[in-house]
């Protein structure tokens, strides 16, 4: 029996012990490596998230400004299904979306504005965007009697334009909370703050050398100005290119009419002299009225610079004339749009640029939404509606010499373009 047991024992027992010892060492080494790798991944992921939150909102991950604007995500990264900002099982933020406004959020803003204004989504575009941290759950724009969560909220400031008007939105990081800046409630949207109204009236009273009791605010409209000079820049002053929310305020005293541009604070108030009539000839000018929204014509397309729609006269016809950015001038008889061939001719690009500069110099934007009606008892006149990328105004040809001089300058330049070869 003893001899059988001895035969079954291994001849070299020390080799078996060595093998078991080496196996244990390898197992411990592998466990250590796995722990180190897991720790490194966790630290790297945290580092990416921290770096991502601190990234510049105007540049992509290589430090270069994105082509065209900063509102759309890098073409190198596609959105994962069911997620807009994250990818992978570890939930890491995508490198391609650093500082870029997520497309889903941009779409949410555009759709909301389209519902509010009736403007087609395709005619709205995001022109600026920047990361922000808002002071509360209402994004700093609480409505009357609204209770807001008192916590910091990460989100975006988004500027949207249709090439004629500009809107500023505030959002949270998900796009579920959207607030249109300057619109706290339907009733207060166009209510001019008392502090701004008083400051405008004081300024107008000084301009006209009358008491403030003789001046009244007749019109106040919300505006988002294109720069820190409220769109009234001077050659001797450098204006910051930033959207400034504010007001377009019209005041009257007798036959005098003054137009002011303001910021949201009463410290920024500028008289728009080109749109005002406060000189000795004011008594001969026509007092404008506001064009009802239902009567406003469609906005211009992106490749259109200016349009005139003339209707009435003895024949009662309606003509539409459009100046395109490439210099084409097209005139069509509206009633025969499907039958008559449009009349077309070409002007130079230089002439187009000169006309665009004239619109800016004469502050055509200041006449937006105003109509200069005919005098009582007049007949057989043409009603003309002029539209640029930023403004629409209308007048009757019989009273053209009684319009503000800056508007007359625009009309004369336009008539030369529209009539020379047609």
Cβ-contact 235, 257 below 8 angstroms: no
**Domain assignment of residue 20, yes or no:** no
> CB within 8 A of 289, min separation 6: which ones?
370, 371, 373
> CB within 8 A of 82, min separation 6: which ones?
none
Q: Token pair 């009419």 is at which residue? A: 257
pLDDT band at 224 (very low <50, low <70, confident <90, very high): confident
**Domain assignment of residue 34, yes or no:** no
Supply the DSSP symbol for 145: T
Q: Which domain holds residue 223?
A: 194-284
Q: Which of 43-52, 97-106, 135-144, 246-255 has the highest mean pLDDT?
A: 246-255
Q: What does the block give as tokens for 111?
A: 């759709």
Do residues 360 and 330 share a domain? yes
**Domain assignment of residue 254, yes or no:** yes
Cβ-contact 372, 385 below 8 angstroms: no
**Domain assignment of residue 14, yes or no:** no
Between CA 68 and CA 60 the distance in angstroms is 12
Do residues 181 and 217 share a domain? no
Overall domain count for the chain? 3
Q: What does the block give as tokens for 200?
A: 């405008």
Do residues 362 and 392 share a domain? yes
Nearest 5°: the CA angle 405, 410, 415 is: 120
Nearest 5°: the CA angle 280, 284, 288 is: 110
* C-alpha distance across the termini of the chain, in Å: 127
Q: Which of 247-256, 275-284, 386-395 has the highest mean pLDDT?
A: 386-395
**Domain assignment of residue 315, yes or no:** yes
Do residues 140 and 261 share a domain? no
Q: Which of 257, 284, 311 is the last residue before a domain boundary?
A: 284
**Domain assignment of residue 29, yes or no:** no
> CB within 8 A of 283, min separation 6: which ones?
255
Do residues 337 and 407 share a domain? yes
Q: Token pair 């991502």 is at which residue? A: 52
Do residues 302 and 398 share a domain? yes
Find the CATH number of the domain harbouring 381: 3.30.1560
Using DSSP's 3-state secondary structure scheme, residue 185 falls into coil
Share above pLDDT 70 across residues of the chain, in percent, rounded to a whole number:
67
Do residues 103 and 71 share a domain? yes
Backbone phi and psi for residue 16, each to the nearest 5 degrees, phi listed first: -65, -40
> CB within 8 A of 309, min separation 6: which ones?
297, 318, 319, 320, 321, 334, 384, 385, 387
Do residues 228 and 272 share a domain? yes
- The Cβ of residue 389 has, within 10 Å, a number of other Cβ atoms equal to 20
Do residues 168 and 107 share a domain? yes
**Domain assignment of residue 2, yes or no:** no
- The Cβ of residue 216 has, within 10 Å, a number of other Cβ atoms equal to 13
Do residues 258 and 309 share a domain? no
pLDDT in tens, 209-222: 888 888 888 888 88
Between CA 40 and CA 28 the distance in angstroms is 19
Between CA 92 and CA 86 the distance in angstroms is 6
Between CA 375 and CA 400 the distance in angstroms is 11
Report how far apart, in Å, the C-alpha atoms of 324 and of each of 93, 299, 330, 336, 421 are: 44, 14, 8, 21, 16
Do residues 364 and 404 share a domain? yes
pLDDT for the residue 82: 39
**Domain assignment of residue 346, yes or no:** yes
Nearest 5°: the CA angle 377, 379, 383 is: 115
**pTM score above 0.85:** no
pLDDT band at 52 (very low <50, low <70, confident <90, very high): very low
Do residues 69 and 154 share a domain? yes
Q: Which of 159, 186, 213 is the last residue before a domain boundary?
A: 186
Q: Which of 255, 284, 313 is the last residue before a domain boundary?
A: 284
Report how far apart, in Å, the C-alpha atoms of 76 and of each of 47, 68, 81, 88, 98 are: 22, 16, 16, 16, 12
Cβ-contact 333, 317 below 8 angstroms: yes
pLDDT in tens, 90-134: 333 333 345 789 999 999 999 999 888 778 888 899 998 999 988
pLDDT for the residue 279: 55
Query: Residue 72: is its pLDDT beyond 50?
Result: no
């Amino acid at each position: 029996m003893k001899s059988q047991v001895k035969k079954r024992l291994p001849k070299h027992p020390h080799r078996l012990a060595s093998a078991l010892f080496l196996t244990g060492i390898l197992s411990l080494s592998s466990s250590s490596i796995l722990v180190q790798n897991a720790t490194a991944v966790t630290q790297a992921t945290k580092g990416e998230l921290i770096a991502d939150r601190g990234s510049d909102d105007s540049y992509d991950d290589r430090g270069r400004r994105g082509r065209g604007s900063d509102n759309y995500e890098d073409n190198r990264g596609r959105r994962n299904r069911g997620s807009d900002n994250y990818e992978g099982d570890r939930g890491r933020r995508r490198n391609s979306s650093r500082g870029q406004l997520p497309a889903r959020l941009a779409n949410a803003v555009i759709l909301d504005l389209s519902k509010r204004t009736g403007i087609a989504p395709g005619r709205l575009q995001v022109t600026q965007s920047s990361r922000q941290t808002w002071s509360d759950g209402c994004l700093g724009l609480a409505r009357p009697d609204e209770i807001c969560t008192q916590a910091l909220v990460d989100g975006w400031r988004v500027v949207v334009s249709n090439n004629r008007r500009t809107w500023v939105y505030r959002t949270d990081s998900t796009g579920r909370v959207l607030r249109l800046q300057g619109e706290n409630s339907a009733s207060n949207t166009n209510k001019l703050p008392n502090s701004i109204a008083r400051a405008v009236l004081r300024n107008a009273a000084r301009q006209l050398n009358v008491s403030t009791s003789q001046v009244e605010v007749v019109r106040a409209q919300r505006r988002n100005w294109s720069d820190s000079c409220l769109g009234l820049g001077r050659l001797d002053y450098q204006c910051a290119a930033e959207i400034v929310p504010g007001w377009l305020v019209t005041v009257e005293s007798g036959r005098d009419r003054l137009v002011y541009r303001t910021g949201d604070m009463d410290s920024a108030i500028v008289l728009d002299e080109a749109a005002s009539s406060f000189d000795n000839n004011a008594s001969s000018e026509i007092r404008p009225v506001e064009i009802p929204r239902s009567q406003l014509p469609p906005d211009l397309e992106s490749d259109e610079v200016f349009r005139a729609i003339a209707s009435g006269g003895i024949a009662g016809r309606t003509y539409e004339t459009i100046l395109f950015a490439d210099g084409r001038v097209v005139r069509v008889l509206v009633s025969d749009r499907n039958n008559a061939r449009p009349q077309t001719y070409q002007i130079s690009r230089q002439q187009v640029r000169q006309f665009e500069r004239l619109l800016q110099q004469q502050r055509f934007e200041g006449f937006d939404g105003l109509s200069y009606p005919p005098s009582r008892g007049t007949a057989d006149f043409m009603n003309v509606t002029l539209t640029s990328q930023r403004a629409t105004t209308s007048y009757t040809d019989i009273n053209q010499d009684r319009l503000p001089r800056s508007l007359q300058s625009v009309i004369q330049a336009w008539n030369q373009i529209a009539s020379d070869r047609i």
